Amino acid sequence: MSETINKGYANPSKRVSYRQWENAIQGLEIIEYFECDKSRIEQGGYVKLHWKVNKSCKKLTLSFNGIILNDIKQSEYSVKVYTNTTFKLIAIGKNNKKVRKEVRIHAIPKPNIIEFKSEPQMIMGNEPVVISWKVENAQQINIDNGIGKVNLVGQQKIYTSDGVIYKITAIGEFSSVTKEIAIRIFPTPLIESMFVPMPDFESKISLDPVQISAPQIDVSISMPGFDMDIPDFNMDLPNYNFNLPDFNMTTPKFIEPSDELLKHIHPKVSIFNLAKIYEYIKFKTTRS
């Protein structure tokens, strides 16, 4: 342009005419400015476009991502952006001269936690647990409870004796996202008391030291009384000499409870322990 002007002064036949000047100046000034409030935005966010055209503009068109807005009259436009987008503003002035300006917006993906899990999820206590994670579109990743900063993908083995909740935080350029997992401790069952129903024995068995008394044997013979008249026999009756047998009774031995017997005796005796004690006493008594 400057070269043409200089040549015009040197050669009047090549000077730029007034109309040429007017068309050149109007073409440059039809769109005074075209801008956006943000040049980078997170995917799914809104941007607002602003522009200003002069009075020489006869038609204004805005296009982006295959969308064309014709004959727009407003001076701003808001839209949600999901991908990198180039907005084009086209102004048509006098003599159908077109002027175009562009604004490019970069859409940044949101941070995403693809996976955050523990294996196993429930333990008996003080057992190893493997925590694994997979994250994308994050600038920084943190896991609490002493783990700290980690990479996008990884795993770590931990030991815990208490139930604990781990939280992972993925931080992006514009936002952050979190996720939690809980490691639970399986409660150990405690038996505070147990009731064992006892059968109703007709004879009671004492757990005191066993004492066996000498048996008493009654060898007397009672003859029935006969009410009858006995004839008087005159005869010599033989002299019968009856010798009674000598009963030699041995006093049973007293058995003191042995260690083997005592180990079968418990404060709470079930039917199974009573049976064992009875068999033991019977065995010892028989051998004695």
Judge if 122 and 171 occupy the same domain.
yes
Determine, yes or no, domain membership for 229.
Answer: no
How confident is the model at residue 103, as a pLDDT?
Answer: 94
Q: What is the mean pLDDT of the chain?
A: 76
Judge if 44 and 130 occupy the same domain.
no
Judge if 177 and 100 occupy the same domain.
no
Task: Domain of residue 266: give its range.
Answer: 196-215+248-288
pLDDT digits (tens, 9 = 90+) for 78-126: 999 999 999 999 998 877 888 899 999 999 999 999 999 998 888 877 7
CA pair distance 100, 91, nearest whole angstrom: 6
Angle 39-53-32 (CA atoms, 0-180°, nearest 5)?
60
How confident is the model at residue 120, as a pLDDT?
Answer: 86
| CATH number of domain containing 14 | 2.60.40.10
Of 102-106, 156-160, 242-246, 281-285, the one with minimum mean pLDDT is 242-246
How confident is the model at residue 82, as a pLDDT?
Answer: 93
Q: Which two tokens stand for residue 100?
A: 């175009």
Judge if 21 and 117 occupy the same domain.
no
pLDDT digits (tens, 9 = 90+) for 178-202: 999 988 887 776 667 666 676 665 5
Q: Which residues contact 170 (CB under 8 A, 6 or more apart)?
A: 111, 112, 113, 135, 137, 138, 140, 141, 176, 177, 178
| More confident site: 207 or 129 | 129
pLDDT digits (tens, 9 = 90+) for 126-180: 788 899 999 999 999 999 988 899 999 999 998 887 788 999 999 999 999 999 9
